[in-house]
Amino acid sequence: MKDVRIGIIGCGGMGTHLARSCLQVHNAKIVGTYDAVKEKAKFLAHQLKCDYYDSVEDLLDKPDIDAVIVATPNYTHSAFTIAALKAGKHVFCEKPMALKLEDCDAMIGASEKQGLTLMVGHVMRFYHGCAFIKRALENGEIGQPIISHVFRTTWVKVGAWSKSWRCKKELCGNSLFEVAIHDIDLMRWFIGDVKSVKAYSSNFSHPEFDYDDSIIAILRFKNGALGLLESGFSSRLGDHKIDVNGTLGAANIDFKALTVKVAVEGRGERKEPLIKSNPVVDELQHFVNCVSTGKKPITDGLAGRGAVEIALAISRACEEAAQMNG
């Protein structure tokens, strides 16, 4: 299998991390970088011993680039992805896929029209423990899922993002899009699509945000299961875990302890480590393999759209609740 030659669009923290992770991916080669801040692209290119480009158009015009990684701010994902697809490049787009469903649809449409791979960076599907839980659910070990709990909370220092795009709803979405989109994707992967949502939110601690820093949502899935999700940036201790309770047993993912377990009535508990190998390298390897073989990624455009749809539904439910309560 020949090397997949990759260009990096966005050389901040995430773009740099993904680019360096590609060094451990078989048949992947970073050949170019671009960032709106030229010095970032130049610095990363120097580290990786590749070219850097003053404009994204120059990078996309290069015939020796097969694919790109889009790791720019949330609100720019769709524009860069569509431009890359139209230029004939396969795309790995960091989460969230986009902030609007119409943008997700345009990205999917462009990939289908061009016959190119579009993969969204929902990396937690590549955690060993998350895949272990998925197999347990598919095998019917815990029976029919009935109730799921998701907690993805943390503390962001007041003022830390006051000059960042992350303090603007129009640019980042909210905590659902910034971090909990991973957990929303896992809930959907484990249980299925969501039928309806009730939700509340408030801004308790961050006046510099123009969106609420705390969200609690109750979900009803199409298969009848219920879900509770808490997300936000106002929890001093923070928490990150997922429970799935079924008719025969239960599954738990503890992201702090880095463990997962499945408990089945009459069979006791089974435990597994959350991570056995580098999940970022594994997801990028999956992307390169899909580009090379034409196989559909497990986190394709439809998967990315599904998570965005749920995040948008929760956000709308929060707004409707706020309007009703005056």
pLDDT at residue 82, as a whole number: 98
What's the rounded Cα separation, in Å, for the pair 135 and 207?
43
Amino acid at 194: V
pLDDT at residue 326, as a whole number: 66
User: Would you call 178 helix, strand, or coil by DSSP?
Assistant: helix
Beta-carbon contacts of residue 164 (< 8 Å; ≥ 6 apart) = none
pLDDT at residue 177, as a whole number: 98
Q: Does domain 125-277+308-324 have CATH number 3.30.360.10?
A: yes
- Give the predicted TM-score (pTM) of the model: 0.96
Rounded (10°) CA dihedral 128, 130, 134, 136: 70
pLDDT along the chain (326 residues), means of 10: 94 97 97 97 97 97 97 98 98 98 98 98 98 96 97 96 95 97 98 97 97 98 98 96 97 97 92 97 98 98 98 97 84
- CATH number listed for the domain at residues 4-121+280-298: 3.40.50.720
**Which segments of 11-147 does DSSP mark as H helices, in order?**
13-21, 38-48, 56-60, 77-86, 101-114, 128-138
Question: Running DSSP on this structure, what letter comes out for residue 124?
Answer: G
pLDDT at residue 265, as a whole number: 87
Q: Give the H or E element holding residue 65.
A: none
Beta-carbon contacts of residue 76 (< 8 Å; ≥ 6 apart) = none
Beta-carbon contacts of residue 156 (< 8 Å; ≥ 6 apart) = 206, 213, 233
